[in-house]
Structure 1
Amino acid sequence: MRDVDFFRYKYAPTTTHMVFFDASPIEVADLIYSHRLDLLSRTDRKGEVQIENVDGPLESKLRKLLPLTNAENRMLVSGTKSNWALYLSNGIPGTDTGSLPRYLTRTLKVRSIAIVMVVDGPDSLGSMQFSYRNGTALVNLGTPEAPYYDFPTRSVAAHRESKWEFREHGEPLPFEEFGSYRERRIKDRLTPEMIERYCGYLGISLFDLSFYDGVGRLIDFAAPQGTVEVSSFPNSP
C-alpha cells in the first residue's frame, strides 16, 4: 500500500532520511556490527554490541529504533521485496546518510542510494536530496604508494538554508527528469514524487509499505554518557 504521509510525516525524521544498499540485509548488518565492535574497542566505551533479527511490518521495525538519540546507537537494516536493503538509524535529526553509509558502500563494493525528504515549514528547512553511489566502480584518488579509493556519485539536491539552492554533481543518470531542473521555483526542481520515480527506475518502491516486509536486523550498543533521548517519534507518539 502506498502511503506517502507515513514516510514524510508520521515517522519523520527517521523515514525522511533513508539509505538503500544493493546487498543482502545480513551482509550489511554484519559489517555494521563488526565495524562498531572495532570502533568501540579503540575507546573507553568498551561495551557490548548486540545484533538481533527483527521482522514484521515496517512500522513495528521502526519502533525498535526508539528512543531517538543525539548520538546514534541503534541501526536497522531491513530486507525488501527487491535486492535492495534499507538502512535507518535512531538519530534525532534523522539517519546520517553520509559517513557510515559511504564506508559501507566502499567496503562492500556495492551500489547505494541516499535520499532526504524534509518537509519545508516554520520549524524545518526543506531539503530534497537524491544521491546514487556506485561502489562497484571504485577509483584510486590517491597514489600507488598511498592509495585512497572512492566511488562515482551522482547527487541532486534542492535545499533551503538562508534561501533555496539547487545543486547537482556527477554524471547524470538516464532516467532523470532534466526539464524539472529548470523550474522557476527552486523547490520544484526536485520533489518527493521525482525521488519516488527515480527510486522506482532502480527497483525501489519507495512509498509502498509492503515493499519493506523482509526480515531485518537491529544493531544496538550503549549510548555515551549524557546522550539526549526522545522516547517517541515527534508525529507518532
Structure 2
Amino acid sequence: MTSFLLDNRFSPVTNSIGFLKCDPDRAARAYLDWQVGIQEKRGVRLAQQSVSGPLPNALRSLLPLTSVETRRFLFLPTHSAWTAFLDNGHDGTDVFAPVSFLAQQLGCEGVRATANPHAPEDKLFGATILEIYGPHKTEFLNYIRSVASTYDGYKWSFSTAGAVQPFEDPARYAQRKIQSRFTLDMLDAYLKAMGIDAFDADFYLPDNRAAIRIEKIGPSAPAMREVAAGF
C-alpha cells in the first residue's frame, strides 16, 4: 500500500507536486524568464539560491508559508528525467498555472499529482488527482489527460477528461464507491509508469544534487499573511 510522501509530515506543501520533464536548471531559467518582467513592474526582484538536501531540509527552505501570494518556489532534481516543483502556498502548491505554462514554453510534458488525505474531522478533504499537460494546445488549454476523485466537504465526485493513457486501468472507474475509482495506489502506479516515483523521498535530490529555490524580494500583496506550518 502506498504511503504519502514523508508520511504527510510536510502537508500542505507536498499534497500537490508539479513535475516538468526537463532539467531543473532549464525549468528554473524558464520560470525566471516568465516572471522577471512581471515582478519588476511591482518593484519585486527574484533571487535564486541552491538548497542542499536531504529532502526535509529543502522543503523547510520554503518557509514561511504565505496566504494570498506565494513567495518561494522550489525546483528539485530527481532520479529520472523529471524536475519536481513546489511552492510555499499555505493551501499547498499551486501546480496548474506554472507547470502547464512552462510545459508549453519548454516544449515538454508537465504533471500535477495531488494526494490529499481524507480526515473530515480535521477539516481535511480527500483528493486524488492526476493532470498531464503537453507542449501544445489541445481541445482544452494544453491538457492531455485528467483523472480526479475529490471530496468537496459534502460529497465525493469523480471525473476524467482527455485521452486515456496506456497505463490506466479504466475498469476501476466503474467502482460503486466513488473514492475507490481513483486511489492513492492507482495514482502511484500511473506516475511510476511515467517515470515518477513521487511518494518515495529517495526519488528526490539524487547524488547530493541541490534544489533551486527562487524567492520574491520586495513588496508583497497587501493582504498577504504568513501562516504557521506544522514542520
* 1:177 counterpart residue number: 169
Q: Is 1:227–2:224 an aligned residue pair?
A: yes
Q: Measured at CA, do residues 183 and 7 of structure 1 come closer, stay the same or move farther in structure 2, by a change above 3 Å? A: farther
- Per the TM alignment, residue 3 of structure 1 is displaced from its structure 2 partner at its CA by 8.2
Q: Measured at CA, do residues 84 and 73 of structure 1 come closer, stay the same or move farther in structure 2, by a change above 3 Å? A: same
Counterpart of 2:142, as a letter, is: F
Number of residues paired by the alignment? 222
How far apart, CA to CA, are the structure 2 residues paired with 1:139 and 1:5? 32
- Per the TM alignment, residue 105 of structure 1 is displaced from its structure 2 partner at its CA by 1.0
* 1:68 counterpart residue number: 65
Could you tell me the TM-score, scaled by structure 2's length? Answer: 0.89
- Per the TM alignment, residue 115 of structure 1 is displaced from its structure 2 partner at its CA by 1.1
Q: Is 1:99–2:94 an aligned residue pair?
A: no
Q: Deviations over 1:87-139 (max 9, x none)?
A: 0000001011211211111111100110111111221221110011121xx14
Indicate conservation of the 8 Å contact 1:57/1:210, yes or no. no
How far apart, CA to CA, are the structure 1 residues paired with 2:32 and 2:176? 46
Indicate conservation of the 8 Å contact 1:8/1:16, yes or no. no
RMSD over equivalenced CA pairs, Å: 2.0
Give the percent of matched residue pairs that are identical in Structure 1 and Structure 2. Answer: 27
Indicate conservation of the 8 Å contact 2:99/2:111, yes or no. no
How far apart, CA to CA, are the structure 2 residues paired with 1:172 and 1:140? 14
Q: Measured at CA, do residues 20 and 39 of structure 1 come closer, stay the same or move farther in structure 2, by a change above 3 Å? A: same
Indicate conservation of the 8 Å contact 1:47/1:221, yes or no. yes
Q: Is 1:217–2:212 an aligned residue pair?
A: yes
Q: Secondary structure at the match of 2:74?
A: strand
- Per the TM alignment, residue 140 of structure 1 is displaced from its structure 2 partner at its CA by 7.5
How far apart, CA to CA, are the structure 1 residues paired with 2:7 and 2:149? 16
Indicate conservation of the 8 Å contact 2:72/2:213, yes or no. yes
1:20-169 maps to which residues of 2 (within 5 A)?
20-42=19-41, 45-70=42-67, 71-122=69-120, 123-135=123-135, 138-139=136-137, 150-161=141-152, 162-169=154-161
Q: Deviations over 1:30-58 (max 9, x none)?
A: 1212322111123xx21221011122111
Counterpart of 1:230, as a letter, is: V
- Per the TM alignment, residue 216 of structure 1 is displaced from its structure 2 partner at its CA by 1.6
How far apart, CA to CA, are the structure 2 residues paired with 1:194 and 1:8? 18
Q: Secondary structure at the match of 2:11?
A: coil
Indicate conservation of the 8 Å contact 2:131/2:147, yes or no. yes
Q: Return 5+ residue gaps in structure 2 as ranges.
A: none
* 1:146 counterpart residue number: none
Q: Measured at CA, do residues 218 and 49 of structure 1 come closer, stay the same or move farther in structure 2, by a change above 3 Å? A: same
* 1:208 counterpart residue number: 200
How far apart, CA to CA, are the structure 1 residues paired with 2:177 and 2:19? 29
Q: Secondary structure at the match of 2:101?
A: helix
Q: Return 5+ residue gaps in structure 1 as ranges.
A: 142-148
Indicate conservation of the 8 Å contact 1:127/1:158, yes or no. yes
